[in-house]
Amino acid sequence: MTFSRLANFIQEYIYSHNWQELRPIQLAACEVIFDTDAHLLIAAATAEGKTEAAFLPVITVLQEQQPQSIGVIYIGPIKALINDQFERLNGLLKEADIPVFPWHGDISQSSKNKALKSPRGILQITPESLESFLINKNHDLVRLFGDLRFVIIDEIHTFLGTERGCQLLCQLARLANITGKQHRRIGLSATLGDYSLAEAWLSSDTNKRVITPLVETKKRQIKLSIEHFYDYETEDSLVSDSPYYRHVFNLSKARKCLIFANNKSKTESVISSLRQIATDEQEPDIYHVHHGSISPSLRQTAESAMREKNKPAVTAATLTLELGVDIGNLERVIQLESPMSVASFLQRLGRTGRRGEAADMRFVCAENVFSSETPLPEQIPWQLLQSIAIIQLYMEERWVEPFKPVKYPLSLLYHQTMSIIAATGEISPALLAKQILTLSTFSSISQDDFKLFLNYLIDINHIQKTDKSKLILGLAGEKIVNRFQFYAVFPENLEFAVKHAGKDIGSIAMMPSVGSQFGLAGRTWRVLEVDFRKKAVSVEAVEGQAGISWRGGSGVIHSQVLQKMRQILGEETEYVYLSKKASQRLQEVRNLAQEKGFVQKNIFDLGKGKCCIFPWMGTVAYRTLERLINSFCRDTLQIKSIGGTNPYYLLLKLPQDKIDDVYSEITALCNQRIIPEHLVSETEAPEINKYDEFVPFPLLRKAFIYDYLDLEELKQMIGEWKS
């Protein structure tokens, strides 16, 4: 019996917490850990007990055979998740002599010193902090991790197909090479589509297979609704008069609610507005903001408020609370506009209904007011359509976006090359090439590519060659590597720290000036003093509202989502979760689509020398189409300008008599022998990732061609176009 194989203190824990039985995924995970030496992928719905499925058998193994070093590394994508899991593990391990060490930028040095002095138990860490270990503790890694048994990767889907995920794979392979011991890996996720892709990723650089138990789970009850608004606001509008914010206020009033927005600015504006309405109505201030530019102390305050039982709290967040932080008594999730993906929808939906209650998620979509004179594509409620499409893709088809591996992670190539040189002090070019090019992440990098790359780094003084033909860091390279920001592969935010009465509030990306006002942490602040040397701003709280913005990408939307949006427009299906206004708005745009015909045909004449293309394809294919038109059609069609909104529509300005040729020109191009290189000029190599500026031009151009464009998908989708 599986239960009897668990450590005695775990059995006691289960009895004392009145568990009726182990869940199917927990039983299956125990069998894999106890009876095989395989890696394990735990793919199960939210609240099915994935964390316990991983840790119950792993802790049992640690209890039976005490490791001589840290026995388990738990990788969390964000600090909040590590903090949350630390509390859960501490409760489980209270009776055992197995310590848990959280390790990230907000953990005190004294706590970290305990782990370094007596390395055992479980280390909870982010990839960035693990990178610091590999560089700064290189000669101590065998003592720290020589008997490492397991690596548990939580929310594994957040790493798949990303440069950060590639970094993690490099780290785990380097650690195994240094210690000479291959650990077992366990991946956890509630939002995987294609298990085989995740299994291949999890087994990278190892010779172990991956087992993914397939178990039936209980169907969850789900409450969904979508409301639609027009944005009538002006600069003089009162927040209390806004139907949009009034609706959000009523949805969240006296409840435990998470509000998800797709960017930091929206989280700030919604909480500021809700706080203003609450003040006007003499309701308590229960409002918080949680995103990467909020100070750790205020983020922790928000997390604590959300966990506190029987007390209402409302927090607006970006993806920082999308992941598996357990807010057990959360009553409702409110989604402002559409999420970017089905995976994101599932993550956010999964925050509620974790204690047997129905999951409750309310979408609130808005669009600008328009008239009959408004251009056709701006009369379409894209966010409403995208919300419906994302819901239906999962509800009807159980479809979740597959990930696309990064073929040329060149910014990471720079990062790992410099990391290995910094860790070793000096290394021969041959040994460095062996350590780098044998990593699965860099399988597409040839010997010639790497030779070109190293010579370039020598030319720009990021590395130097010694008299003994060894490679060391150059002066320019040392300046990069010696900064703590080096550990992360994602771009750093050059922001000003904001302080009020000596307390950290967060940070802003805008250039502040004394007397100016901005919004942060859901409140309005006036700048009192700016220290440009320390990049710090002193502020005081003031009444009223002020905006703020951060730079950032808008994410990638899959072509399947756009295809579903098109299908929804062309059908008459009614959706029970639409409010009366949302249902009416859907019917209006369906009538418009039927009248104008933009569902049946992709290219639409707007008159006056303007043409609109509805590609019905995702972000990457849209980007490729835009380049195809710009590279090959600008002269032949005499195009004056190309605009639009990715991935919804393209706008071309061209002579009226050329509009009829747009379809034939594009489709003919896709039948020719065009290769991806033709879409990027010889002098073009966009710097997109953190260290791209240190990558030689020919390699950077190749990476852009193959990782940011997709000519094959474009050709396939244009093959289905109709004139």
Coil, strand or helix: which one is 271? Answer: helix
The verdict on residue 367 lying in a domain is: yes
Residue 35 lies in a domain: yes
For residue 65 the two structure tokens come to 């055979």
Confidence category of residue 554, pLDDT binned at 50, 70, 90: low
Residue tagged 């409110």 (tokens): 334
Determine, yes or no, domain membership for 687.
yes
The fraction of the chain above a pLDDT of 70, given in percent, is: 95
Residue from 207, 206, 68 nearest 145 by CA: 68
pLDDT for residue 338: 96
On whether residue 559 sits in a domain, the answer given is no
Last residue of a domain, one of 371, 397, 423: 397
Q: List pLDDT tens digits, range 58-84.
A: 999 999 999 999 999 999 988 778 877
- State the number of CA atoms in the 13 A half-sphere of 424 facing the CB: 18
- The 10s digit of each residue's pLDDT in 645-669 is 999 999 999 999 999 999 999 999 9
Edge-to-edge strands, sheet with 523-531:
503-508, 496-500, 536-542, 523-531, 517-520
Are 240 and 277 in contact by the 8 Å Cβ rule? The answer is yes
pLDDT at position 551? 53
Q: What are phi and psi of 665, to 5 degrees?
A: -65, -45
**pLDDT(135) > 80:** yes
pLDDT at 239 over 80: no
Q: Provide the pLDDT for residue 493.
A: 66
Cis peptide before 119 (omega within 30 of 0): no
User: What is the rounded average pLDDT for all residues in the chain?
Assistant: 91
**pLDDT for residue 382:** 97
Phi, psi for 348 (deg, rounded to 5): -70, -40
301 and 232 in a common domain: yes
The answer to whether position 547 is within a domain reads: no
DSSP string, 330-393: --EEEEES--SSHHHHHHHHTTS-TTSSPEEEEEEEEEE---TTS-GGGGS-HHHHHHHHHHHH
CA distance to 105, 395, 524, 607, per residue, from 535 (Å): 19, 48, 20, 51
Give pLDDT tens digits for 394-405: 999 999 999 899
Residues 23 and 166 both lie in one domain: yes
Beta-strand ranges (E) seen in 6-157 are 39-43, 72-75, 100-103, 122-125, 150-153
The CATH number for 479's domain is: 1.10.10
Assigned domain for 568 exists: no
Q: What predicted TM-score, i.e. pTM, was given to this entire model? A: 0.89
**How many whole angstroms separate alpha carbon 400 and alpha carbon 213?**
18
The more confident residue out of 391 and 554 is 391
Q: What mean pLDDT do residues 213-224 have?
A: 84
535 and 476 inside one domain: no
CA distance between the termini of the chain: 65
pLDDT of residue 617: 97
User: Which of the residue ranges 256-265, 272-281, 501-510 would you say has the lowest mean pLDDT?
Assistant: 501-510
324 has pLDDT over 60: no
pLDDT at 418 over 90: yes
DSSP character at residue 218? P
Domain assignment present for 578: no
Q: What is the mean pLDDT of residues 623-627?
A: 94
Q: What is the pLDDT of residues 441-495, one digit of tens each?
A: 999 999 999 999 999 999 999 999 999 999 999 999 999 999 989 999 987 766 7
Residues 192 and 259 in one domain: no
564 lies in some domain: no
| Calpha distance 405→425 (Å, rounded) | 31
DSSP classification of residue 224: E
User: What is the structure's pLDDT at 46?
Assistant: 73
Residues 519 and 620 in one domain: no
Residue 379 shares a structural domain with residue 479? no
Q: Are residues 87 and 206 in the same domain?
A: yes
pLDDT given at position 494: 66
Query: Domain count of the chain?
Result: 5
Residues 90-105: pLDDT tens digits? Answer: 777 877 788 989 988 7
Alpha helix segments (H runs only) across 460-602: 475-481, 559-570, 580-596
Residue 474 CA: distances (Å) to CA of 462, 469, 482, 722 = 4, 14, 12, 57
CATH classification of the domain holding 198: 3.40.50.300
CA dist., res. 190 & res. 336, Å (int): 22
What CA–CA distance (Å, rounded) separates 63 from 182? 20
Residues 6+ apart with CB under 8 A from 464: 458, 471, 472, 473, 474
Q: Which of 158, 155, 145, 130 is nearest to 54 (CA)?
A: 155
Residue that finishes a domain, picked among 457, 487, 517: 487
Specify the pLDDT at position 685.
Answer: 87
pLDDT in the model for residue 236: 53
Same domain for 125 and 57: yes
Q: Where are the alpha helices (DSSP H) in 228-340?
A: 243-252, 264-280, 296-307
- Among residues 156, 185, 211, the one where a domain terminates is 211
Range of the structural domain that residue 378 is part of:
222-397
Give dist(CA 541, CA 481) in Å, integer: 38
Q: What is the pLDDT, as a whole number, of residue 620?
A: 95
In the predicted model, what is the mean pLDDT of residues 139-148? Answer: 96
Do 50 and 207 touch, CB atoms closer than 8 A?
Answer: no
At residue 310, does pLDDT exceed 60? yes
Instruction: DSSP for 372-387, please give it.
Output: TTS-GGGGS-HHHHHH
* pLDDT-based confidence at residue 300 (cuts at 50, 70, 90): confident
pLDDT(715) > 90: yes
Q: pLDDT value at position 18?
A: 84
Joined together, the tokens standing for residue 224 give 């969904």
Confidence at 555, pLDDT banded by 50, 70, 90: confident
